[in-house]
Amino acid sequence: MNSKAKPKHDIPDGLNEEYYQISADILGSFNKYRPPLNIFEFKEDVCRIAPFYKVGGRLSNGQIEELASMVNEGLIFVSRDDHPVYVKHISYQLDLVLVDKNLKEREIADIFTQALTRRMKEFLDQPVPVVFEKLWVDLMVLTEYLHADIHRTRGLVRRMHKEHSLENHSVNCGFLGLALFGRLQRKDCEAGTVKRQTFDRLAAGLFLHDMGMTKVAQFIRDKKVPLTGDERTKVNAHTRVGYDMMTKLNLKYPEVEECISQHHERLNGSGYPLKTREMGFAGRLCAVVDSFCAMITSRPYGEGLAHAQRRSGYRAGQTLRSYHFQSTPVASRAGPQNEAVTGFRHCRNQRNTFSKKEAAF
C-alpha cells in the first residue's frame, strides 16, 4: 500500500506541531466529497498554510483530483485542533495507525483506546462469531503495533478507564496486562524473540477473560448491595461460561484458556472456581491485572482506587502481593494521582516472583 506522502517541497519544521500531514491512505478513508474535517494546503509561494476545504461544504470532482495530486506531493494537512474528529475517524479504520507516520504516540494511544473500547462493547453486547471477527482484526492491529515496540504500552496504560463497565475493564486489563508482560519479558521483547502468535493469544486472553460475565444479568452486575447466594453462584460461574464461549469461538489456545479459567484463582488456594494453587503464567498475569483494574475503577457499590487511596494508599499493593505473589513485601508507591502507572510500577517490582520457567513463557 502506498501510504506515506512523499514531500517534494520545503515544509517548515514547526508545521507538524499544529497540523497533521495526511497520506493518500488517510485521504482515501475520508468521504470523497464531504471529508469529516477541515483540510488545509501548504502554499509554497507564500510559505504558509491555507484552507482548502471547510467541513459542511462539498468538493467538486475537480477539487478531488487536485487534492489527490497535492496529497502525493505532501502538501495536504489537517489541524491538530481537529484531533477528536481525527481520532474518531481513524478508530473506525484502525489499521491506518500502522501506515500513518505523522501520528504521535499519544495520538495513537487515544485512537486505540477509543477503537478497542467500542469494539469490546459491540462484542460483549453481542458475543457471536461475526462480531468477534471484527474485534479480532482490531486486536491484531494492536499486537502488531506493540510487538514492534513493547514500550508503546506506556501511552496505553495512561489512558486506562476510571469508570467501570465490562468493556472498560476488558480494555484496562488488556493494556495493563501487555504492559506488565513487557516488563516481565523485557529482554525478549526488546530482542524481538517473543513469538507474535504467543503475544496475540495472550492479548486475546487479557481482553476476553471476563466475557462469561455477559451471561450474568445486568441487575446482578450492577447491584449496590451484597449478592444473594444464588446471585453469587451465577457470578462465580462466569469463568466456566467464558470457557464455553471460548470453545464456540474456536479460541482454544492455552493463553486464552488460562486467562479465562484462572483469573479468579489465587496462589494460596483461596480463589475460585477450582481453588487450585496451580496457575499458569498467563493465568497469573491475568489475575494480577484483573484484581488491580477492578480496584482502580468506580463501580455501583464503591469508589475507584483514586479515591480509596487517599484513605489507604497501601491497599492495592497488599492485595496483589497477598493473592498473586509470594515475595518480600515491597512498599507500594501508590498515590492518588496516577494509579495506573503506580500499579504498573508495583507489578514491575514483583517481576522476580515469576520463576525462570514461567519467564520462559
Residue 23 CA to residue 77 CA, distance in Å, equals 9
| Least CB distance to Fe ion at residue 309 (A) | 23
Which stretch, 54-62, 108-116, 203-211, 253-261, contacts Fe ion (CB under 5 A)? 203-211
Residue 293 CA to residue 179 CA, distance in Å, equals 13
| Least CB distance to Fe ion at residue 308 (A) | 20
| Least CB distance to Fe ion at residue 238 (A) | 6
Please, what is the angle between helix 238-248 and helix 229-236, to 10°? Answer: 30
Neighbour count for residue 312 (Cβ, 10 Å): 11
| Least CB distance to Fe ion at residue 24 (A) | 44
| Least CB distance to Fe ion at residue 262 (A) | 10
| Least CB distance to Fe ion at residue 185 (A) | 24
If we measure between CA atoms, which residue out of 330, 339, 344, 284 comes closest to residue 308?
339
If we measure between CA atoms, which residue out of 236, 215, 113 comes closest to residue 174?
113
Total H helices, total E strands in the chain: 19, 4
- List the grid coordinates of 114: 477509543
Determine if 167 is a binding residue for Fe ion (CB under 5 A). no
Nearer to Fe ion, 134 or 275 (CB): 275
| Least CB distance to Fe ion at residue 169 (A) | 9
Determine if 210 is a binding residue for Fe ion (CB under 5 A). yes
| Least CB distance to Fe ion at residue 210 (A) | 4
x/- mask, Fe ion, residues 68-97, rule CB under 5 A, reads: ------------------------------
| Least CB distance to Fe ion at residue 310 (A) | 27
- List the grid coordinates of 210: 471476563
For cell 477473560, name the residue.
209
Nearer to Fe ion, 210 or 257 (CB): 210
CA distances from 75 to 22, 42, 286, 300 (A): 9, 5, 46, 50
The burial class, CB within 10 Å (0-12 / 13-18 / 19+), for 94 is buried
Residue with nearest beta carbon to Fe ion: 210
Residue 268 CA to residue 274 CA, distance in Å, equals 12
Nearer to Fe ion, 215 or 333 (CB): 215
Nearer to Fe ion, 147 or 238 (CB): 238
Which stretch, 16-24, 76-84, 208-216, 221-229, contacts Fe ion (CB under 5 A)? 208-216
If we measure between CA atoms, which residue out of 110, 56, 103, 52 comes closest to residue 84?
110
* Enclosing H/E stretch for 137: helix 129-148
Asked if 316 contacts 346 with a C-beta cutoff of 8 angstroms, the reply is yes
Nearer to Fe ion, 98 or 241 (CB): 241
Site size with Fe ion, rule: CB under 5 A? 1
Which stretch, 97-105, 142-150, 202-210, 226-234, contacts Fe ion (CB under 5 A)? 202-210
Nearer to Fe ion, 173 or 180 (CB): 173
- List the grid coordinates of 292: 488491580
Nearer to Fe ion, 25 or 258 (CB): 258
Nearer to Fe ion, 138 or 210 (CB): 210
Determine if 258 is a binding residue for Fe ion (CB under 5 A). no
Nearer to Fe ion, 56 or 226 (CB): 226
x/- mask, Fe ion, residues 33-72, rule CB under 5 A, reads: ----------------------------------------
Please, what is the angle between helix 315-324 and helix 281-296, to 10°? Answer: 160
Interacting residue ranges for Fe ion, rule: CB under 5 A: 210
